Amino acid sequence: MLKRTVLILLSAILILSFCSCLKVSNLVKKEDKVIVEATLYVLKDRDSADDEQKFDVIIKDLKHLFTSNSFLQKVSERIKDENNLDITVEELRKCVNYSNPEDTRIIRVICENEIESVAMVIATILCDETSDFAKEAMGYDIIELFEAPSVVENN
Q: How far is CA 153 from the centre of its chain?
A: 12
Report the alpha-carbon distance of residue 146 to residue 134 in Å, rounded.
16
State phi, psi for 13 to the nearest 5 degrees.
Answer: -65, -45
Report the alpha-carbon distance of residue 112 to residue 122 in Å, rounded.
9
pLDDT reported for residue 6 = 52
126-to-15, 93, 119, 142 alpha-carbon distances in Å? 50, 12, 11, 16
Per DSSP, 66 falls in state T
Per DSSP, 136 falls in state I
Please report which helix (H) or strand (E) contains residue 144, including its range: strand 143-154
pTM over 0.85: no
pLDDT reported for residue 25 = 37
Mean pLDDT for back-to-back runs of 10 residues, the chain (155 residues): 61 54 40 87 62 72 84 95 95 90 83 93 90 73 74 76
